[in-house]
Amino acid sequence: MNAKIVGILDDRIQTIKSKSGTIILVGPISLPVNLDGETVKFQWYCWLPCKDLVHSEGGCRETERTEYLIEQLSESNLAEKQQSSVLVYGDFAENDDAFIRMHSICHTGDIFGSKRCDCGFQLHQSMKMIVSHGTGALFYLANHEGRGIGLFSKAMAYILQEKGYDTVEANLELGFQDDTRSYEDTLLVLAHLRSKPVTLITNNPKKLAALKASGMNVDDRVPLWGDISEFNRKYLETKVNRSGHFAEELTIP
């Protein structure tokens, strides 16, 4: 193992231990982002559950950790697994007030710009809200596709939705719960980066409750509705009527 390479990486790799397993966090990494034509500098971190390494014990050792981690990377086939990450803005550890977005990956909305949901809009808008607020973090949760059912299953659910099933019914008909997302690892990363309370960007009361129940220090919420069109009207109505989303701020034309 090249000691120079280990030395370069070592001080930006940390382990976070929990009852359910260890997470390896890499960062901060400077990430300049084009946000509506302006360059905004975020600090980026990515994390990996130790169990996703081929020899999980070796990767998570306290001593010589980085060396063991590098040895396993090329064998661990990480492109076949999902890694989540977080974009941090401002003095995240210390500022009294910070906006947090827990954003579930949406291949169709975030990447293709699909208008069947509001995900792409929420992703972009939440980054703008965090920057204009001055401090915050966008967690991009890569194992949450389709509220936890996976991309292929979401494609099947979309076909059922074309035949009149709503989002919740389609998930249930395919044998899933309506919402199977876990925030466990994400909250460990958040606690590592910040202990002060946060304001959560969401319209979803169940997400707020689940995060609070898992120990997240949330003292406020801000809504994020938008990009409403004929294509996502039923999806958004289902959020309000079936999933209990806060409706007071939503006006569907």
Ligand X SMILES: Nc1nc2c(ncn2[C@@H]2O[C@H](COP(=O)(O)OP(=O)(O)OP(=O)(O)O)[C@@H](O)[C@H]2O)c(=O)[nH]1
Nearer CB in complex with ligand X: 145/185 = 145
Angle subtended at Cα 148 by Cα 144 and Cα 150, rounded to the nearest 5 degrees: 90
Active site residue 179: yes
Torsion angle of C-alpha atoms 7, 12, 17, 20, degrees rounded to 10: -110
Provide the 10 A C-beta neighbour count for residue 141.
20
Question: Is residue 36 packed enough to be buried (19+ CB in 10 Å), middle (13-18) or exposed (0-12)?
Answer: exposed
Do 118 and 228 contact (CB within 8 A), yes or no?
yes
Member of 202, 211, 216, 227 binding ligand X (CB under 6 A): 202
Do 42 and 23 contact (CB within 8 A), yes or no?
no
Member of 47, 130, 236, 239 binding ligand X (CB under 6 A): 239
Nearer CB in complex with ligand X: 61/81 = 81
Active site residue 147: no
Count Cα atoms within 13 angstroms, Cβ side, for 12: 14
**Is 86 among the residues that bind ligand X (CB under 6 A)?**
no
Do 136 and 90 contact (CB within 8 A), yes or no?
yes
Task: State which of positions 154-193 bind ligand X (CB under 6 A).
Answer: 154, 157, 161, 167, 171
Nearer CB in complex with ligand X: 60/198 = 198
Member of 22, 84, 122, 135 binding ligand X (CB under 6 A): 122
Member of 147, 165, 186, 194 binding ligand X (CB under 6 A): 147
Nearer CB in complex with ligand X: 84/202 = 202
Q: Which residues are near ligand X by CB under 6 A?
A: 104-106, 117, 119, 122, 144-147, 149, 154, 157, 161, 167, 171, 202-204, 207, 235, 239
